[in-house]
């Protein structure tokens, strides 16, 4: 994993691949065009690959085309996983043991059968 750059560098690459201009990428990232350019040069040096061709328009190289969807999926996967984890955290979990409930009902029924009140009421009905 020593070839993995900082997340900010990967983010600059991902945004630049969508916009294909350093200016638009910089606006989305709220940094300068120079900062995006430096991030991408750092990434190219780290990986030893040219990712963009600069000319009249910015274009991805074959390496850039191969890596762009992988980096984009990386960010999408992290966002989806974090969303799921936050959703699970906000849910209230209620766990009820039906075995425990059945035992409680059985105990209450048994206790009620031992109570003298139903038997006294029955006796009063026979003698009334």
- The CATH number assigned to the domain holding 83 equals 1.10.10.10
- The answer to whether position 28 is within a domain reads yes
Nearest to 8 by CA among 34, 48, 35, 45: 35
Q: Is residue 128 pLDDT above 60, yes or no?
A: no
- The answer to whether position 104 is within a domain reads no
Q: Is residue 110 pLDDT above 80, yes or no?
A: no
**Alpha carbon distance 92, 101 (integer Å):** 21
Q: State residue 41's pLDDT score.
A: 96
- The answer to whether position 62 is within a domain reads yes
- The answer to whether position 80 is within a domain reads yes
Residue-wise pLDDT for 55-108, tens only, equals 888 899 999 999 999 999 999 999 999 999 988 877 766 666 666 656 666 666
Q: Which residues pair with 60 in a beta bridge?
A: 52
- The answer to whether position 14 is within a domain reads yes
Domain that holds residue 23: 7-90
Number of structural domains found in the chain: 1
**Which residues, at least 6 apart from 18, have a Cβ–Cβ distance to it below 8 Å?**
25, 72
- The answer to whether position 120 is within a domain reads no
pLDDT tier, 117 (very low <50, low <70, confident <90, very high otherwise): low
Supply the Cα-derived Rg of the chain in whole angstroms. Answer: 34
Residue-wise pLDDT for 25-50, tens only, equals 999 999 999 999 999 999 999 999 99
Q: Tell me the backbone φ, ψ of residue 97, rounded to 5 degrees.
A: -90, 115
Helix H or strand E encompassing 52: strand 52-53
42: DSSP letter: H
Contact, 71 vs 58, CB < 8 A?
no
- The answer to whether position 67 is within a domain reads yes
């Amino acid at each position: 994993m020593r070839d993995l750059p900082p997340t900010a560098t990967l983010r600059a690459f991902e945004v630049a691949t969508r916009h294909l201009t350093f200016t638009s990428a910089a606006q989305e990232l709220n940094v300068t065009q120079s900062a995006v350019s430096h991030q991408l040069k750092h990434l190219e040096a780290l990986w030893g690959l040219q990712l963009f061709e600069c000319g009249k328009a910015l274009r991805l190289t074959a390496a850039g085309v191969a890596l762009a969807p992988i980096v984009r999926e990386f960010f999408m996967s992290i966002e989806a996983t974090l969303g799921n984890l936050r959703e699970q955290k906000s849910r209230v979990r209620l766990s009820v043991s039906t075995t425990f409930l059945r035992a409680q009902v059985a105990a209450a029924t048994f206790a009620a059968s031992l109570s003298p009140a139903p038997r006294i009421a029955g006796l009063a009905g026979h003698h009334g």
